[in-house]
Amino acid sequence: MGWLGLPGRRVALFHHLTAVFFFASLATALPMFVPAIAAWAGHREVFRETHVITGLLALIVGAASLTTLAGPGARERRTAFAAWAEADAAWMRSWARRLARPAYTGTGPNPGQRVAASAMAASLVVLAGSGLVLRFFSIFPLWLRTGASLVHNLFFYLLTAIVLAHIAYAAVTYLRPVRVGEADPQHAGQER
């Protein structure tokens, strides 16, 4: 077993590569968006091109993790993320009440991870679409560029918030055995 209880170390590699490209894209956005950093760093064109390339790579590699490129069981991975049942809704309500992860007895990603993954995927698609409008602005009308600017910035905030929450949850989960001296069997199984 590997990433999120799904089989395959290659899936984990795709997941980490997506994270690397996402953070590279985030890092190169700052010198364009934050005036103080922009004034200090300069070289806007270099940052812009790197931002576009790494952002698109994050989307492409992230999408590829749901294909056979990331190993067998691609259909199961896609199904696992799209599936939803009444028990999942109850799990989410329980999570929303306590903001703590309830026990999850199913296999694969828990309902919270599935919702977060959907929001991340949608954000990446929206960021790529709006980013391409901004990159190739000359073929689009001004109102659409204004819309792309707004959407790109809002979804940047959304995606960053989800990713940071995701990392925080992952850190808490994986550091828990260090703290309490006892590992969750599912997570322990991933290390075998």
Positions touching another protein (CB under 8 A) are: 32-33, 35, 38-45, 81-84, 88-89, 92, 111, 114-115, 117-119, 121-123, 125-126, 129-130, 134, 137-138, 142-155, 158
Q: Which is nearer to another protein, 41 or 183 (CB)?
A: 41
The CA–CA distances, whole Å, from 145 to 56, 129, 157 equal: 19, 11, 18
Shortest distance (Å) from residue 14 CB to another protein? 19
Shortest distance (Å) from residue 185 CB to another protein? 26
Q: Which is nearer to another protein, 83 or 188 (CB)?
A: 83
The closest of 17, 63, 51 to 130, measured between CA atoms, is 51
Q: What's the CA gap between 112 and 33, in Å, rounded?
A: 31
Shortest distance (Å) from residue 156 CB to another protein? 9
Reduced DSSP (H G I as helix, E B as strand, rest coil) percent helix, strand, coil of the chain, to 5: 80, 0, 20
Q: What is the dihedral of CA 103, 105, 109, 114, to 10 degrees?
A: -70
Spatial neighbors of 112 by CB under 8 A, at least 6 apart, are 91, 92, 95, 101, 169
Whole-number CA gyration radius for the chain: 19
Shortest distance (Å) from residue 74 CB to another protein? 17
Q: Which is nearer to another protein, 34 or 171 (CB)?
A: 34
Shortest distance (Å) from residue 179 CB to another protein? 31
Q: Which is nearer to another protein, 164 or 171 (CB)?
A: 164
Q: Which is nearer to another protein, 89 or 171 (CB)?
A: 89
Residue 69 token pair: 């490129």
The one-letter amino acid at 8: G
